[in-house]
Amino acid sequence: MVLPLSHSFLTAEQRASIGCVAVESTHLERFVEAIIWHFLEVDEEKGKYVTHTMQMGTRLDVMRDLAKQVLEPEEIKILGELVAQMKVVNEKRNLVIHGEWAPADGYRLRNLFTGPSNAVPAVATKRRLRDSPQVMSASEVDAVAATLSSLYRALIRAVGKWKHLERRYVSGAPAGMAVPPAASEDPDALRQP
């Protein structure tokens, strides 16, 4: 079996960390989509036509703007703060997922035969048109995954406190929402079969 190129300069732990960023960001993106569908009062089948091609930054803007139509001022403020934090971590997420991972000193033929070198750490680099490239070390990736998870949980808690959910829904989860109105601290407890 031929190993992927990433095995020549990323350790198994580093590859797992990058995978965690992908998983955590997908959970957050799906929840943001569900909130948009909720605000639009559409189910997933219809909602996916609205959000499918949106980048995360656009989804966050749409969610925030729609929230202004239904949420209380304090709820809008909290959501706005979360959106600002999500935009920052989304930039880091994009670097982890879309950046070019390679040894910090560049590709070397030796890496292809000897595997990852602890002496030369891997970094992700993302070119930018007018600025110097963004660079992230593999050791920073776990912090990105943890921040994504933390923001996902904070968003769940915020949604659980929205007053309009109490007015609109006596029991059960709103159509298109992944969690019931009374969200707990533990997102695993919120998942329903």
| Tens-digit pLDDT profile for residues 159-179 | 999 988 766 544 444 444 444
Flag whether the pTM goes above 0.85: no
- pLDDT band per the 50, 70, 90 thresholds, residue 182: very low
Position 56 pLDDT exceeds 80: yes
Q: Which residues contact 46 (CB under 8 A, 6 or more apart)?
A: 37
Rounded to the nearest 10 degrees, the angle between the axes of helix 56-70 and helix 12-40 is 30
Reference 10, options 98, 144, 127, 100; nearest CA is: 100
Residues constituting the chain: 193
- Per-residue confidence (pLDDT) for residue 109, from 0 to 100: 54
Highest mean pLDDT among 95-99, 112-116, 149-153: 149-153
> Are the CB atoms for 175 and 38 separated by under 8 Å?
yes
pLDDT digits (tens, 9 = 90+) for 62-88: 999 999 999 999 999 999 999 999 999
